[in-house]
Amino acid sequence: MRRYKWRTHEIIMETADTLTIVFDTGEERFGYESGQYLNIRCTIGGEPVSRSYSFSSAPTERYPRITVKRVLNGRMSNYLVDYASDISEWNVEGPFGNFVLHRDMSAETEVVLLAGGSGMSPLLSMLKSIGNDAPAPLLLYACKTPADVLFKSELDELEQDKRVHTYYAFSLDIQKRSGGNCMTGRFSQPVIQSVIEQHIHRPESAHYYICGPTALMQLYQEALQLMDIPVSQIHSEYFDPVATVDVIPGDRDGAKKEVLVSYYEMQYQDAEQQTYECTLLIEVQGGQSLLDAMRAYDIVVSSSCHKGTCGACWAMTSNGKVKMTNNYALTEDEVAEGKILLCQSFPVDDAVSIILA
């Protein structure tokens, strides 16, 4: 993970409540994968606020971009939609995330993208990265009305070039429309299954990427489960804070644990960035998460949702036992390798060693 200070290249109003920020990264090359995201830090009302936003650009594009949709009463999204054009310098960190195109996909692998609202953002990035020689992905995209469709002109162009086959559902649109593949009303399990079976030759071996509001994601996931799609081929990215179980293992007043933390510290000397390797033995109070304990020692750790959803605070354990309460970001393999989410992790013994990314 790296931190950057970027400038604005362009702000694009996508719909009435959604805009795209195109970043000027300066001379520095910035690499990421389609489907990944970055964290933006802003000071809002005197307080630091950090949130995650997926790239809507493909890594091959000159300027990375993110797309932000206004959330009712949301701090960061309203601030960005209202004031992005006044911000001259952006504090960003990343890239983060495992929601990327499957690495072992062959030229024949079929891809289905299941989107809702601003969840289209990482899926557009993926669409733009899938080459002409691969089968055209199928996209199911649920929006309230046609006016809420994000990236309509890019999607139309990709459709014309036969690089996607799109099917829309407009939940609040009562007029029947012609000229596009769409339905009025919400997607349902039979509709999802029928559209997939019409367009995908071998649904059982396709890969599925899901991103949107949580209830819609659950509908897509249930439809795929009913079709017996293997879980390993279903990839999901949650934007909304998932309803997490607030379990704190052990006794809040229980024994403190000692944890060894290895991390890098960046300092600026004469405008030059220096990186130092640090190791610190910290005390973690009973019921205190590793993230909170590290913060208490002023160790700089990336984090965003604090719910085990975004994955920004991942770290590696090299020793000892850690209990993780909620995890919606790491794969089973990553957990088996020793990856943890610091915001959801509690040391169980005194032998825990953590290596920060």
Binding site for ligand FAD (CB under 6 A): 37, 51-54, 66-69, 71, 73-78, 118, 121, 237, 239-241, 305, 309-310
Least distance to ligand FAD, CB of residue 326, Å: 13
Rg of the chain over Cα atoms, rounded to whole angstroms, equals 21
78 vs 285, which CB is nearer to ligand FAD?
A: 78
Length of the chain: 357
Query: Least distance to ligand FAD from the beta carbon of 288, Å?
Result: 23
Nearest to 120 by CA among 51, 23, 240, 210: 210
Of 10 and 349, the one with the shorter C-beta distance to ligand FAD is 10
Nearer to ligand FAD, 304 or 345 (CB): 304
Nearest distance in Å: CB 233, ligand FAD: 20
Question: Residue number with the shortest CB distance to ligand FAD?
Answer: 74
CB of 40 to ligand FAD, least distance (A): 9
Q: How far is the CB of 78 from ligand FAD (least distance, A)?
A: 6
Q: Which two structure tokens, joined as six digits, stand for 40? A: 């933006």
CB nearer ligand FAD, residue 25 or residue 244: 244
* Among the listed residues 227, 235, 216, 164, the one whose alpha carbon sits nearest the alpha carbon of residue 190: 227
Work out how close the CB of 66 gets to ligand FAD at its nearest, in angstroms, rounded to a whole number. 6
Smaller CB distance to ligand FAD: residue 74 or 250? 74
- Which tokens is 49 given? 């606020």
Query: Which residue lies nearer to ligand FAD by CB, 69 or 199?
Result: 69
Contact in structure between 232 and 271 (CB atoms under 8 Å) = no
Looking up tokens 């409540």 gives 17
Q: How far is 119 from 126, CA to CA, in rounded Å?
A: 12
State the Cα–Cα distance between residues 11 and 258, nearest whole angstrom.
Answer: 47
Name which of 17, 76, 29, 88 is nearest 52 in CA terms: 76
Beta carbon of residue 237, minimum distance to ligand FAD (angstroms, whole number): 6
Contact 121, 55 (CB under 8 A): yes
Both tokens of 241, joined, read 């804070």
Q: How far is the CB of 119 from ligand FAD (least distance, A)?
A: 8
Considering the complex, state which of residue 213 and residue 338 has its C-beta at the smaller distance from ligand FAD: 213
Q: What is the C-alpha separation between 295 and 114, in angstroms, rounded?
A: 37
Which residue(s) pair with 4 in the sheet?
92
Measured from the CB atom, is 66 or 169 closer to ligand FAD? 66
C-alpha span between 211 and 73 (Å, rounded): 22
Query: Would you give the distance in Å from CA 336 to the centre of its chain?
Result: 21
